[in-house]
Structure 1
């Protein structure tokens, strides 16, 4: 079926990236399957993460159908766009209702995007992963594609005013090798394997990031364990 809305939205995003002169560092694009279903699972540090995680799949000429909170679909502007791009609404009070349409998309050969932490991490380290991504991959018989984003929080994140006028910010995207569920593997075990892989990718991205805060008050976007001003992780990181 022809895509009338998604490609123009991608083109608009690319134009925004050029205007801001964002400095992209993307590795692992060869791991994105050129065809067939997959669950793209990314860390979550900013409100624009779905844009950048979707951008990771563009070299493979794939479009990602993201699972997103239902309130976005009710907005008068974003709602029609989200539906036209075939993203999947999630009612957090009844999250299992989104499982069936996500499974259907995977079985039809789509890439479904998921943020297993289910919310933005204010510490910019990994929170616990929910098992939905692993369960979908197992039931649909598709691989899990681990992705780590870094730098996106500097544009717009929870508790900070959005700053879409900042230029030259480095944006790091790391795509890992797909994880294939093992036969009879418990979802909890696959979820832990996924989390460990995303953690490895994120840690490498954070430590190799080219920008450093010039002043202590500018270090809000760095995690505490790297000497930054972000709040410490509440639980296991």
Structure 2
């Protein structure tokens, strides 16, 4: 397919990263196949993760098509860029079409990027994940490639102000060994193994990260490493509250729209 948008977007992003002197650590690029489909499964710590996860496949000369929520495609600025880069919109009310689009991309030899946690992890640990990525890999006969990203949460994450122009931030991207699930496997067990590998990569990225947060910056460090980010249990409660508030707001809008 024609690539009129993706290459200049990458070039622009790399120029911005250079201007901000972001310090990259990118390991495991040899795990990315040079040809053929693959499911790239990343943890999710920031609103910028798809940009950095995309860099994981760049040294192999590949482009990743990320599955992202439909609302991003509805945005008047981000939407045309997302469509131009051939990313895949996910409508949570009609997930079958998104799954079909991802399978089509995989079978045509594309790398499809998935944030299996669905939403940003407030605890900066890997949340529970569903088996969708595993099922896509099996159905398309492509490998699963786990990756971990650490550092972008300092630029823009849930519940924090954007600090997109912050300079000298280290960003770590670790790519794990591919997994090759097949039909007949226990998908839940494979999903648990995938999550364990992602967690191991993320823990290594966090423990080997070159920056130590100052006292007033400990919010970007997970609780188990001495930070003040919510624990996984606290984060789950916050996510539940957010979902309930969103549902109530949606119902209120629908009720208001239906009144005369």
Normalising to structure 1: TM-score of the pair? Answer: 0.97
Query: Which residue in the other structure is 2:55 paired with?
Result: 55
Alpha-carbon separation, structure 2, partners of 1:107 and 1:97: 15
Q: CA deviation at 1:232?
A: 0.6
Q: In 1, are the aligned partners of 2:141 and 2:182 still within 8 Å (CA)?
A: no
SS of 2:18's equivalent in the other structure is helix
Alpha-carbon separation, structure 2, partners of 1:8 and 1:55: 14
**Residue ranges of structure 1 left out of the alignment (5+ in a row):** none
Query: Which residue in the other structure is 1:219 paired with?
Result: 218
Q: CA deviation at 1:19?
A: 1.0
Q: In 2, are the aligned partners of 1:128 and 1:236 still within 8 Å (CA)?
A: no
Q: How many residues align?
A: 236
SS of 2:51's equivalent in the other structure is helix
- Per-residue CA deviation, residues 6-41 of structure 1 (Å, 9 max, x unaligned), is 000000110110011000001000000000000000
Query: Which residue in the other structure is 1:119 paired with?
Result: 119
SS of 1:72's equivalent in the other structure is helix
Query: Which residue in the other structure is 2:246 paired with?
Result: none
Alpha-carbon separation, structure 1, partners of 2:128 and 2:180: 20
Q: Quick check: 88-97 or 69-78, which moved more? A: 88-97
Alpha-carbon separation, structure 2, partners of 1:72 and 1:214: 33
Query: Which residue in the other structure is 1:150 paired with?
Result: 150
Query: Which residue in the other structure is 2:194 paired with?
Result: 194
Q: CA deviation at 1:183?
A: 4.5
Q: CA deviation at 1:84?
A: 1.1
Alpha-carbon separation, structure 2, partners of 1:64 and 1:37: 10
Q: Highest CA radius of gyration, 1 or 2?
A: 2
Query: Which residue in the other structure is 1:232 paired with?
Result: 231
Q: In 2, are the aligned partners of 1:127 and 1:235 still within 8 Å (CA)?
A: no
RMSD: 1.4
1:4 and 2:4 equivalent?
yes
Normalising to structure 2: TM-score of the pair? Answer: 0.88
SS of 1:104's equivalent in the other structure is helix
